Chain A
């Protein structure tokens, strides 16, 4: 269980998250949707403590972190980060390491696994994202979709309790995005727990079990994904979903105009 309770996050005077409550069942996928600036990225970053909320509580398996306005203990941060993996919009692979090196890094440096064991595990993960044949390639030699799949393998290396994905497909062409969606869908079928911030309706609809609509730092609606997309309760959600639909059709519409 991953549970965020009454999370408040401010940047200076700007209150970016206002008492946000979200909980994610183990083995389920939650899509975070909402307009730009609504706080999706910030919320994900609060889960692995890249940001420290001002108030609220984070429960991550056996770990409970209560936020008081001070940075959490270093040991707490370390434990939380070991139980979370993050996939970034722009991949953020380590450019000076090969695909294999990127995936091995946390195993060797953080978990202190022996080299051979880490290599075997990393190859297994690259296999899983369909990139075992690119193990020795550097990020600069990979396509965007391939880079993002390596980044997913890297995030999975230390077997995190939850995988946090911040717009994993939005830096990619539709075709390359599809290969990333397929990998995430596969993970979802295998029972990985994920939180995915996205504008990509295809990703949200094909992978998520639950969906949460954020707006201006507040949860507007939280429901099973199918229900939220097809039959939203709130007018605000209905309007937002319709903008997403138009967005998704935009490329084709553009092609059609002479």
Chain B
């Protein structure tokens, strides 16, 4: 067995473990929480009272205008000086959630706004309230349109979680750094880490594909196009 393959196989266990215990939960949790935050932010911007609109815009402005790595440093290294001490994982989770929230709020806002006014009016005309129209008519249609851009955010997030290494979360990339520190084989080990990220995002892309197909089928657009 060639040396590089042997090394890769030996480090595969620790790398996968770090991915399974830190990268995957960090990604899933921060995406779920971030999307919720993004949804609420989008609603605030579209339908909230003026102060809430301003607050939502301010939030999106700050987060989109500053680097994610700097945001993570402020939370993990900066906040302790005002007495807020967080462990590495919760600090990273908060950072990623806030970041995902800002980006997805823009996506959610755009897709909700893209649903024609006539769909709201048709809902009102059959007696629905605003929240019924939102829930039954607008969101199901918006969700379909949102799948591709949200999947994009999700796949970016998987890769961005490697930044958590910088705030001492022992996730996949940090595990790789540790192995490099003892083996002095950065090329082999970092390529291996890259391949694992690639595998993760490929799985997500495949899932996105299936979801899109499923949604298209359930509104008859596939058959209609065929």
Q: Are A141 and B223 in contact (CB under 8 A)?
A: yes
Kindly identify, within residues 190 to 226 of chain B, every residue whose CB is under 8 Å from any CB belonging to chain A: 218-221, 223-224
Is the CB of B185 closer than 8 A to any CB of chain A? no
Which one of B116, B121, B132, B218 contacts A109 once the chains associate, using CB atoms below 8 Å?
B132
The total of chain A residues at the interface (CB under 8 A) is: 30
Which one of B116, B119, B125, B218 contacts A48 once the chains associate, using CB atoms below 8 Å?
B125
Q: Are A84 and B125 in contact (CB under 8 A)?
A: yes
Is the CB of A50 closer than 8 A to any CB of chain B? yes
- 1/0 contact string of B96-124 vs chain A (CB within 8 Å): 00000000000000000000101101111
Which stretch in B23-31, B80-88, B133-141 binds the other chain? B133-141
Which one of A78, A105, A109, A141 contacts B220 once the chains associate, using CB atoms below 8 Å?
A141
Kindly identify, within residues 110 to 165 of chain B, every residue whose CB is under 8 Å from any CB belonging to chain A: 116, 118-119, 121-129, 132, 136-137, 140-141, 144
Which one of B124, B129, B219, B223 contacts A95 once the chains associate, using CB atoms below 8 Å?
B219
Complex interface: chain A residues within 8 A of B128 (CB)? 106, 109-110
Query: Chain A: which residue is nearest B215 at the CB level?
Result: A96
* Shortest distance between the CB of A72 and any CB in chain B (Å): 13
Complex interface: chain A residues within 8 A of B219 (CB)? 95-96, 138, 140
Chain B contact residues: helix, strand, loop or mixed? helix
Cα-based distance from A82 to B132 in the complex (angstroms): 14
Which one of B116, B129, B224 contacts A78 once the chains associate, using CB atoms below 8 Å?
B129
- 1/0 contact string of A116-131 vs chain B (CB within 8 Å): 0000000000000000
Complex interface: chain A residues within 8 A of B223 (CB)? 141
Query: Chain B: which residue is nearest A81 at the CB level?
Result: B127
Query: Chain B: which residue is nearest A80 at the CB level?
Result: B127
Is the CB of A155 closer than 8 A to any CB of chain B? yes
Which one of B137, B140, B144, B220 contacts A140 once the chains associate, using CB atoms below 8 Å?
B220
Cα-based distance from A75 to B37 in the complex (angstroms): 32
A92-B121, A95-B219 as given contacts; A105 in contact with B136, CB under 8 Å = yes
Cα-based distance from A48 to B122 in the complex (angstroms): 11
Query: Chain B: which residue is nearest A138 at the CB level?
Result: B220
18 residue pairs from A and B, CB less than 8 Å apart: A48-B124, A48-B125, A81-B126, A81-B127, A82-B127, A85-B126, A86-B125, A92-B116, A93-B122, A94-B119, A96-B144, A109-B136, A110-B126, A110-B132, A140-B221, A141-B224, A154-B126, A158-B127
